[in-house]
């Protein structure tokens, strides 16, 4: 895409209210991972759910792929100031996934746990939204394919209303917690909520 058409598209998105302040449009798909990309072993991979649930649960890869999936087209906004529009994903909608579980009344926060220890946190109320997904495919192809795996294969969360660091790649467990547990970047000084349209980038300092 030429410079001029990128700028034209950017202007159009700004006018449409889809480009948050401080962001610019990219046609590329930058990879941002702290640390290495884990390898995917379908035979030993699992997704666990624990914490404020009646019963901890575990899905093998085969079992997870049997869950009903849907499609979602959304915009993504990275705190490093790029936004990408109309990205197309396929996966299990979080609201459908919640129906597989029995949460206890104590569940208030969802902590995503990833391979190699990356974590990120959101209120259950933010995750319980119609555009939140556990994604397994991007633009029609499995995230665990070799050229896509860096984007979170085989499974990542997608939370389009928050900066992209809240979309956990290489997801291995979801913890339902009565208390908030700031994740990797949140402990590192990023904002706890991360709404791109309010430019909630860094935690405000108190001094």
Q: Which of residues 6-35 bind Mo ion (CB under 5 A)?
A: 32
CA dist., res. 191 & res. 195, Å (int): 9
Which residue's CB comes closest to Mo ion? Answer: 165
CA dist., res. 170 & res. 40, Å (int): 9
Query: Minimal distance in Å, beta carbon 23 to ligand MTE?
Result: 12
Longest C-alpha distance within the chain, in Å?
55
CA dist., res. 154 & res. 125, Å (int): 25
Q: Which of residues 26-45 bind ligand MTE (CB under 6 A)?
A: 30-34
Please choose, from the candidates 169, 97, 82, 90, the residue with its C-alpha nearest in 3D space to the C-alpha of residue 127. Answer: 97
Q: Which of residues 170-189 bind ligand MTE (CB under 6 A)?
A: 170
From the list Mo ion, ligand MTE, none, which binds 125 (C-beta under 5 to 8 Å, kind-based)?
A: none
Chain length of the chain? 207
* 93 vs 164, beta carbon nearer ligand MTE: 164
Which residue in the set 165, 173, 186, 196 belongs to the binding site for ligand MTE (CB under 6 A)? Answer: 165
CB under 5 A: which stretch of 91-99, 145-153, 160-168, 187-195 binds Mo ion?
Answer: 160-168
Please choose, from the candidates 74, 82, 87, the residue with its C-alpha nearest in 3D space to the C-alpha of residue 22. Answer: 82
- 139-142: list long-range contacts, CB under 8 Å, 24+ apart: 139/87, 139/88, 140/88, 140/90
159 HSE (CA, 13 A, CB side): 25
CB under 5 A: which stretch of 14-22, 70-78, 122-130, 195-203 binds Mo ion?
Answer: 70-78
Which residue in the set 72, 74, 78, 103 belongs to the binding site for Mo ion (CB under 5 A)? Answer: 78
From the list ligand MTE, Mo ion, none, which binds 114 (C-beta under 5 to 8 Å, kind-based)?
A: ligand MTE
CA dist., res. 52 & res. 107, Å (int): 5
Instruction: Show the binding pattern over residues 131-160: x = contacts ligand MTE (CB under 6 A), - = does not.
Output: --------------------xx--------
The residues binding ligand MTE (CB under 6 A) are 30-34, 78, 114, 118, 151-152, 164-165, 167-170
Contact residues toward Mo ion (CB under 5 A) are: 32, 78, 165
């Amino acid at each position: 895409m030429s410079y001029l058409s990128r700028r034209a598209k950017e202007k159009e998105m700004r006018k449409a209210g889809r480009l948050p302040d401080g962001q610019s449009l990219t046609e590329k798909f930058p990879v941002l991972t702290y640390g290495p990309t884990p390898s995917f072993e379908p035979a030993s991979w699992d997704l666990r759910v624990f914490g404020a649930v009646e019963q901890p649960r575990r899905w093998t890869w085969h079992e997870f792929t049997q869950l009903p999936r849907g499609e979602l087209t959304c915009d993504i906004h990275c705190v490093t100031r790029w936004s990408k529009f109309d990205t197309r994903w396929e996966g299990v909608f979080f609201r459908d996934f919640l129906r597989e579980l029995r949460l206890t009344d104590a569940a208030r926060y969802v902590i995503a746990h990833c391979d190699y220890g990356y974590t990120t946190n959101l209120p259950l109320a933010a995750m319980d939204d119609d555009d939140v997904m556990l994604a397994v495919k991007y633009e029609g192809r499995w995230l665990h394919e070799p050229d896509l795996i860096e984007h979170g294969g085989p499974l990542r969360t997608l939370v389009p209303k928050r900066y992209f660091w809240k979309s956990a790649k290489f997801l291995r467990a979801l913890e339902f917690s009565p208390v908030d547990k700031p994740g990797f970047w949140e402990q590192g000084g990023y904002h706890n909520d991360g709404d791109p349209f309010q430019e909630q980038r860094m935690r405000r300092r108190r001094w």
